[in-house]
Amino acid sequence: QVQLVESGGGSVQPGGSLRLSCAASGYTNSRVCMAWFRQAPGKEREFVSTIDNDARTSYADSVKGRFTISKDNAKNTLYLQMNGLKPEDTAMYYCAARSTEGFCYRTPAFFGYWGQGTQVTVSS
């Protein structure tokens, strides 16, 4: 049973930073695409970032240059370093994963495993 557990959310002022973590367990296949999505109240879940088996990354335009995705394979942990946070970054952030040898898609439907989410609030 694959489990994803996020942590690291919180409340920060605009311009601040947070680092989200996602601890993964239960994978039998090391070839995994992992991603971060977010969902604000009343809005659809939206893509934030992905990282594939070869550590190639992609970002939504809204976070490019401010957020950095990374993973520690030894710890089975995914990270999202968020700098220069803005009020519009306020959302529940979700970690997602899928075993795949191929391309890492940006749509929620591509991912079969999800964490419970961690709240990020940016306000003054």
Region of poorest pLDDT, from 23-37, 44-58, 83-97, 105-119: 23-37
Region of poorest pLDDT, from 16-25, 28-37, 90-99: 28-37
Bigger pLDDT: 22 or 30? 22
pLDDT for residue 28: 66
* Mean of pLDDT over the chain: 94
Report whether 1 contacts 26 (CB < 8 A). yes
Report DSSP letters for 70-91, one per residue. Answer: EEETTTTEEEEEE-S--GGG-E
pLDDT at 84 exceeding the cut of 90: yes
pLDDT at 119 exceeding the cut of 80: yes
Q: At 2, is the pLDDT very low, low, confident or very high (cuts 50, 70, 90)?
A: confident
pLDDT for residue 9: 97
> What length does the chain have?
124
Report whether 67 contacts 122 (CB < 8 A). no
Report whether 12 contacts 66 (CB < 8 A). no
pLDDT for residue 101: 81
Q: At 29, is the pLDDT very low, low, confident or very high (cuts 50, 70, 90)?
A: low
